């Protein structure tokens, strides 16, 4: 039994922070940020908006995309959701997990719900977990959400992270199906190296720092990243993982129509594509408009690229990510016929009504270019 993509949704908070705005109080410039990261702007949540707010909105949109709703649909056959997984680095609280609250807000009280913490690889780890639930018969339909409010853990004075990370949420609905049908998740390659856990970390706030009996300096409560070292490992590990997933799927590189990398940095994505032998026109990106949204980046990109036509039914797709831990992962699938739902706005119950975002997302409308015509 395979996990098959049945719906995809994306949610971004309305506030857009440009490079020029960051340059007004950081020692940087629009040109410096763009040349090193590919980012021109990013979305930030308003005060009082949390990860669960964004996750709930993205989950609602994914369920809508899949043709079902949440509340009141527990016995609606194919529309039923048996589990909710939230991949995040920024949970609402250290305890309990964010997923149960999200499930309840979606009208899914009683279903299995838990978080996955693998930083920027969280969506791939969550995908493997969801596929396992379906393969064992524990669930027939899973809602997987990647959601982040990185603005709550970034030091606004740290040029190395403040210009990169952003807020947003993306989600997919996975249903039980056959391995041969479009949307079926292929073999998933996952890996980690805890010996390099200090490359990406928040040193304070966890059991290790609390058990030390000493107060942590203020900067240790913020997200920290050793960028140069991360770049090298990200390129090497992501390339190897993508190649492993291709090999296990029995695909050749020239059969890949679209490469969907975690939106960490445009230079990383380009370097991985070059090592794999993929032409740049097959590499999808939206980092210029949304920044690095960690566990949310892949589902956000899937939704945006489906809406603007860069990702079409029948495309052979490789997903790949690298994150803290260190962690990495990749998988393959043939993109199914789904209608993506994406919005930009204030979460329901937090502020004003939302605004539908097809024109606001800012994703570029590029001509389709692939090795095979799309269905």
Query: Which positions are catalytic?
Result: 120, 262, 292
Q: How many CA atoms lie within 13 A of 139 on its CB side?
A: 27
Query: How many CB atoms lie under 10 A from the CB of residue 182?
Result: 17
What is the H or E stretch that residue 191 is in?
A: strand 189-192
Give the closest residue to 257 by CA, choosing from 308, 332, 320: 332
Q: Helical H runs in the chain? A: 19-23, 30-37, 51-65, 99-105, 122-135, 159-162, 207-211, 227-249, 266-276, 287-290, 297-308
Assigned token pair, 356: 């539908």
Please, which residues have CB within 8 angstroms of residue 27's CB and are 6 or more apart in sequence?
Answer: 159
Q: How far apart are CA 126 and CA 328, in angstroms?
A: 12
- Please choose, from the candidates 252, 315, 326, the residue with its C-alpha nearest in 3D space to the C-alpha of residue 283: 315
Which backbone phi and psi does 114 adopt, to 5 degrees?
-160, 165
- What is d(CA 370, CA 147) in angstroms, rounded to the nearest whole number? 30
DSSP codes joined into one string, 59-108: HHHHHHHTT--STT-TTSGGG---EEEEE-SS-S-SSS-SHHHHHHHTT-
d(Cα 179, Cα 163) in Å, to the nearest integer? 41
């Amino acid at each position: 039994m395979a996990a098959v993509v049945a719906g995809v949704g994306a949610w971004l908070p309305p506030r857009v922070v440009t490079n020029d705005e960051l340059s007004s109080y950081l020692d940087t410039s629009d040109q410096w940020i763009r040349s090193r990261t590919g980012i021109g702007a990013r979305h930030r949540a308003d005060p009082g908006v949390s990860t669960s707010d964004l996750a709930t909105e993205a989950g609602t949109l994914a369920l809508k995309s899949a043709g079902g709703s949440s509340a009141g649909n527990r016995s609606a056959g194919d529309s039923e959701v048996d589990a909710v997984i939230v991949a995040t680095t920024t949970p609402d609280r250290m305890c309990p997990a964010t997923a149960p609250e999200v499930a309840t807000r979606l009208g899914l009280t009683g279903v299995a719900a838990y978080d996955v913490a693998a930083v920027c690889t969280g969506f791939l780890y969550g995908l493997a977990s969801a596929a396992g639930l379906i393969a064992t018969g524990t669930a027939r339909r899973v809602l997987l959400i990647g959601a982040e409010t990185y603005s709550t853990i970034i030091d606004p004075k740290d040029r190395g992270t403040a210009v990169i990370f952003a807020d947003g949420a993306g989600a997919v609905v996975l249903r039980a199906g056959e391995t041969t049908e479009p949307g079926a998740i292929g073999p998933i390659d996952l890996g980690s190296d805890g010996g390099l856990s200090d490359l990406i970390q928040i040193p304070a706030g966890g059991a290790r720092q609390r058990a030390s009996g000493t107060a942590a300096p203020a900067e240790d409560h913020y997200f920290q990243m050793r960028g140069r070292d991360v770049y090298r490992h990200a390129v090497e590990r992501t390339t190897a993982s993508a190649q492993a997933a291709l090999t296990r799927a029995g695909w050749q590189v020239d059969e890949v129509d679209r490469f969907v990398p975690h939106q960490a940095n445009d230079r990383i994505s380009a370097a991985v594509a070059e090592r794999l032998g993929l032409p740049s026109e097959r590499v999808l990106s939206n980092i210029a408009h949304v920044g690095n949204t960690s566990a949310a980046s892949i589902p956000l990109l899937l939704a945006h690229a489906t809406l603007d036509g860069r990702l079409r039914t029948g495309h052979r797709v490789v997903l790949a990510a690298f994150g803290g831990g260190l962690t990495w992962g990749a998988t393959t699938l043939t993109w199914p016929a789904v209608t993506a739902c994406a919005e930009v706005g204030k979460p329901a119950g937090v502020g004003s009504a939302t605004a539908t975002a097809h024109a606001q997302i800012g994703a570029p409308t590029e001509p389709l270019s692939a090795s095979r015509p799309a269905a």
